[in-house]
Each structure stands twice: as structure tokens, then as C-alpha cells.
Structure 1
Amino acid sequence: MNDRARWLLPVLSPFLAIAAALLVGAGLIAIAGVSPLKAYSVLFTESLANYYGFSNTLTKTAPLLLTSLGILVALKAGQFNIGGEGQIYMGGLGSALVGLYVHGLPLVLYVPLALLGGFCLGGLWGLIPGYLKAIRGVNEVITTLLLNYIAQNLVSYLVSGPMKDPDAPTPYSALIDASAQLPIILPQTQTHAGILLGVLATIILWVVFARSPLGYQIETVGQNPIAARYAGISVERTIMLVMALSGGLAGLAGSGEVMGLKYRLFENFSPGYGFDAIAIAFLSRGNLAGVLLTSLFFGALRGGANVMQRSAGVPVTVVYAIQGLTVLFIAISLVLERKVVAPPQPPAPLAATTTET
């Protein structure tokens, strides 16, 4: 394969994966007895071209963007953070604790403090598996996955007991202080400043990875930890740092849900954003602009799903199937890319291939 094709295939494969998922999804929609053209027209027109629909898309994009950025940071260092969902819950808890039990602060201090509470608690939830991996050699995929369930059940316990609003018919906390709530950026909608926080985080990470020694350090550890050690980089410290940062970014996603959307801590307040973010991080192929665009695509799918069901009669589950198919096709593209793009291996030395007689 020529050099141009080697460069183009990694760029095109995410788009091909999405196109293939939409094509198979069109078949599912046709089986349901609905025109795929009409269904997709409703889905993307209402979620991207309509003011209220686009605001809904941005609201759902914000937690996806922040969490997938966190997972991407871990991937840059060669770590697989599967715990974004639990870190979202812990971030929401951290901001709720500040919003409920800290009082008397002006808005200019209260919002950053509540965000910091979410970042720190989410970061702690990422640091735990980071420490276990770096110091004890425990696989981070297992620990981050298991910590999801601990975080979800911890929040469930707290909003069902110690933090439950006395007048609540279902498990949720009291309203957080008004000074700790994120401002609405689109009038008459639920779109809050969390999406701006996600864009700002994307820009900061671009600067870190493109211009700073820390970004070089993280990528060196991810590409070749042995070489990183020879260069004097502490691999263990870097792993713990990126896992804490990864958890902190996912924690900010939970902060946005509590501070900008629900204004209280709910049981099961995340509809699976942490797991969608894994697909987004892999689909973006390590590109920060790709994370932003792919998060918007997944946000549009989530934002337009109910509209598509009401207007075109297509079940919401078809949208979830398209998301799953996208992940499947990007996984297939990665396998094919390794086979096609990988440079040919040199032939084995003659001495190694001959046998003594």
C-alpha cells in the first residue's frame, strides 16, 4: 500500500464506520415499516437544525464530550479507563455535596468550588485504579469497571437515605444552592454552560499535548514505557496522573448534570454516558477535534431519538442499535487497518529457516 493510502485510511475509517452503521440502521428502520430517508431526515433535522432540538443535542453532548476527553487522556498513556460512568456519578456527588452543604458564597466562587468538588471526587475515583495499576500491577480495565457499580450504589444509598429530600417521593436530594447552579446559555432551553466547559477542556488538552512537556511525557509512556524509563520519566507517576485527570474530566460531566440540568442529585441520573464515551474515544482515533465532532454526533442521536419515535414511528431502540453498530464497525476497521496498513515484516534470516542435516 502506498504512503497516501496509509495516511488516508485512519482518517476515513471512522466516517466509513458511521456510514456503515447508518446503512445497517436504515435496514432496521425499513423492517419496522418506515422510510429510512424520512426517519433520518427527522432525526438530524430536529436534532441539528431546530433551535430547541439543537439545544437538546448540546445538553446531551456536554457530558459525552467531557467523559470521552477523560477516556482519551487515559488512552494517550496506554491506559483503558472503563470507569467513566462511575466517575460521572462521583463527580455529581462531589458537586452536590458542595451545593447542599456549603453556603454564603458569591456565584463567582460557588460555581468553581462546586466544579472543583466534582473534579476532585471523580479524580479520586480514577486515581484508585491508577494507583492499583502503577504500584500493584492490577489490570485497570477490571478495577475501573467494578468501581462503576460501587459509585452507582453509593449514590443510590445516599439519595435514598442520608441525602434524601424529606419531601421526595423517589430517591433524590434537595435542590442545590442557586448560586452553585450553572448558567443557561441558550434562552428558554436547558442548555447550560457545561458544553462551554467541554469545549474549553478540549482546547486546553490540545495545548497540553501539542505544546507542553507533560503532553510529551504522557504520549511517550503510552507509546513505549521502557523508552520513557530510560528518558527519566516516572511511568508509575504518569499513570496515576492521567488516571486521576481522566476521572476528573468525567467527574466534571457529572457536575454539569447536577449543577446545570437537574439541580439536585438523583439516583441513576446518568443514562449510560460513560459507556457511550468509550465508543466516542475509540471512534475519534486519538484526535481531540474528532472527539468533539463524534460527541456531537452521539448527542444528536440521543437528542433526536424521541423526536424520531414521535414523528416517524421508529422505536428509540433503533438509535441505540446504530450506536452499537458504530462501535462494532470501528472495531472491525481497526482490525482491517492493522492488516492493511501495517508495514510488511522482513523475511526471517536464512539461518533461522534452515535445519541442520
Structure 2
Amino acid sequence: MQKIFQQILAVFPSLLPPVVAIASALLVGAGLMLVAGANPIAAYTALFQESLSTYFGFGNTLTKMAPLLLTSLGVLVALRAGQFNIGGEGQIYMGALGSAIAGLSIKGIPALIHVPLALLAGFLFGGIWGLIPGYLKAVRGVNEVITTLLLNYIAFNLVSYLVQGPLMAPNAPSPYSPIIARSAQLPIILPGSLAHAGILVGLVAAGVLWVLLQRSPFGYRTAAVGMNPIAARYGGISVQRTIVLVMALAGGLAGLAGASEVMGLKFRLFEQVSPGYGFDAIAIAFLSRGSVLGVVLTSLFFSALRSGANVMQRSAGVPVTIVFAIQGLTVLFVAISQRWLVKPPQRESIVQTVSPANES
């Protein structure tokens, strides 16, 4: 019991900044509602009751959480290696494209085989889109923020071209592809709602990533490169290979987010695949402060905000834009809380822990 209590105390300092940030954002959001002439208590009650306590509202929250969770995990694993993956949005588009191609071109096989194949296609397409900036950073020294950001626009326009041309459904009134095969569609997990098995894919991915980061040589190498690449190289770790692998994994996770949107929600490839999940994922990853569990909980929080926003507007007269303001304020207060509540880590300490004997 004493050991468990000590572990809880050890975790508490890392949880304090995001908790303070969320509470501060909600408080400032309440102030904005008062200025707009709305009742913040009624607004927040409507928002969270609809998104978390009602059957259909919770199903909608889980639907939005699946892509947010997967893309945030992609941003998180890149951050652990000291890389900033700003390309989650483009990787979502490429993952959606890969799963759509697999869902449209492969027919006549059982869902037990088709669903994993389509998910794998989404993972590979997103992984390639993450591998490109990883290679450019590791081998050519090109800043990954620039390359991942620019690759977003290439992905947007590539998908737009395909759904307006080669992949466009016959006689479609707007740009979208035909419906993917039934055997490639993810099952609904809450009957009568939109919640599909994509959230299960996200939770499994979170568990696997936690094991990789905390209990494997890959996680050790990733952390070493992120804390001090010079010391990591001295310890026998291939910094270039680690960066490439991490960025490919980050892209693959975001690609799964796009695949879940196509396979579980829309069942076809649209010109507008994502409403900005890739950019929200950046905020979620920073808010989670490197914790996989934190990403899961923060993704749920952001999903609840998105899910209950319209109900909040109808019942309390609060504009939906208040929700986006709360998200932005949360990130702002995270930055402030890290400055005032958390002592900066000593990056030099990794020199003492990285040695050739530790590499496996």
C-alpha cells in the first residue's frame, strides 16, 4: 500500500500542470460566456451531460475520439524523440486514401481479413508520409516542422484531385469516392449510434505504444535521442535510424486515424477527410506532457468539447466558437503552468545514463 501511495505521489506533479490548465481554460471560458450574456453553469452542464452521460452523445464523443487519439499518439511518439510532427492532418488524409483504395479494390474476401488489410494500408500510407520528413531530417538535416507542414498541403490536394477524378463515384453530386466494400467497414460498437470499432483500434494502439516506449529498447533509444542526441550517439544509438523509424511510426498512427474515418464513419473517401483533427492532436500531445495515458484522457476531453458544442449552443445560446477558444486557452495555460509549476528537466543527465552497455 505504501508503494502504491508513493507511485501516486510521483505521478501527481506531472498531472498538476494539465489539470490547472484545463481548469483555468474552463474558468476563462466561463468569463467569455458571461460577457456574451450566457449562463456558464447551464452551458457546461449541457455540454458535458450531452457528451458524456447520454447514450447517443457518448457514442458521438467516442466517434470523434478515435481519430483524435490515434493522431495525438503520432504527435506524442515524435515528441519523445525530440521531433515536432506538424503533419498529422496530411497523414490522416493519406491514411484515409490508403484504406479507401484497399476497400474499393479488394473484394470477395471475409471481413476478418479485409478489415486488417485496409487498416494496414492506412497505416502504411500514413507511415510513408511520416517517413519522408523523417528521412529528410535525419539524413539531410531539413527541419521537420517545415517538411511536415508542407506535406499537409500536398496530401490535401492529392486527395482532392483523386476524388474529383479517378476515384470519384459515378454521377456523384460532390467530390467523393464510391462506398467501400462492406467487408472493409468497421463494426458499430454502440448500436443505434455512430460509435465504431475505431476507438478500440485507438485504445489498442495506445497500449502497444505504451509498452514500446516504457518496456522496450525502442523506447529507450527514442527517449535517449529526444533528450540528448549527442549522448545517444556516443552510447551507440543510431540517431538517424531512430528518427526515421519514429517519424514513420508517427505517420502510421495518424494514418490509422484516417483509415478509421473512412472505414468506420463515412465509408467513402471525401475531399474534406478531417475537420482539423491533426492540428488538435498537437495541442493534445503537448497537454499530455509525454504520457500515453494523458493522451487518452485529454483526447476524451477534447472529444467531449466537440461532441457537446452544438447542444451547448442550442440549450444555452453559447456560440460553438467558445469551444475552440477553450481548446486554445488550454494550450496557452499548459505553457504557463509548465513555466511556473514544473522545474525544467536536466537534459545533461542523459549523459550519465547512456552507455554502450545499455544499448540492446
How would you bin the TM-score normalised by the shorter chain? over 0.9
1:112 to 104, 113, 116: 116
1:199 to 184, 196, 203: 203
Residue of structure 1 in register with 2:35 after alignment: 31
- The answer to whether residue 134 in structure 2 is matched with residue 123 in structure 1 is no
Residue of structure 2 in register with 1:287 after alignment: 291
Partners of 2:10 and 2:128 in 1: CA distance: 40
CA deviations on 1:67-109 (whole Å, 9 max, x unpaired) are 0001101011111100000000000000000111111211111
Residue of structure 1 in register with 2:3 after alignment: none
Distance change >3 Å, CA 93–CA 341, structure 1 → 2: closer
Residue of structure 2 in register with 1:238 after alignment: 242
CA deviations on 1:257-300 (whole Å, 9 max, x unpaired) are 00000000001120000000000000000011100000000000
Partners of 1:115 and 1:342 in 2: CA distance: 38
Residue of structure 2 in register with 1:42 after alignment: 46
Distance change >3 Å, CA 155–CA 226, structure 1 → 2: same
- The answer to whether residue 302 in structure 2 is matched with residue 273 in structure 1 is no
Residue of structure 2 in register with 1:351 after alignment: none
CA deviations on 1:172-223 (whole Å, 9 max, x unpaired) are 1000000000010010111000000111011111111221111111111111
Which amino acid in 1 is paired with 2:123? F
Which amino acid in 1 is paired with 2:90? G
Residue of structure 1 in register with 2:185 after alignment: 181
2:82 to 49, 72, 78: 78
Residue of structure 2 in register with 1:330 after alignment: 334
- The answer to whether residue 221 in structure 2 is matched with residue 225 in structure 1 is no
Partners of 2:210 and 2:12 in 1: CA distance: 22
Q: Give the count of matched residue pairs.
A: 339
The farther-off stretch of 41-50 and 10-19 is 10-19
2:217 to 208, 213, 216: 213
Distance change >3 Å, CA 97–CA 337, structure 1 → 2: same
Partners of 1:70 and 1:133 in 2: CA distance: 17
Q: Percent identity?
A: 70
Which runs of no fewer than 5 residues in structure 2 stay unpaired? Answer: 1-7, 347-360
Conserved? CA contact 1:173–1:264, under 8 Å: yes
Which amino acid in 1 is paired with 2:86? I
Residue of structure 2 in register with 1:152 after alignment: 156
Residue of structure 1 in register with 2:356 after alignment: none
Conserved? CA contact 1:183–1:260, under 8 Å: yes
TM-score by length of structure 2 reads 0.91
Conserved? CA contact 1:111–1:182, under 8 Å: yes
Partners of 1:113 and 1:8 in 2: CA distance: 41
Which runs of no fewer than 5 residues in structure 1 stay unpaired? Answer: 344-357
> Secondary structure in 2 aligned to 1:243?
helix
Which amino acid in 1 is paired with 2:93? Y
Residue of structure 2 in register with 1:168 after alignment: 172
Matches within 5 A, 1:288-327: 288-327=292-331
Which amino acid in 1 is paired with 2:241? R
Partners of 1:246 and 1:341 in 2: CA distance: 26
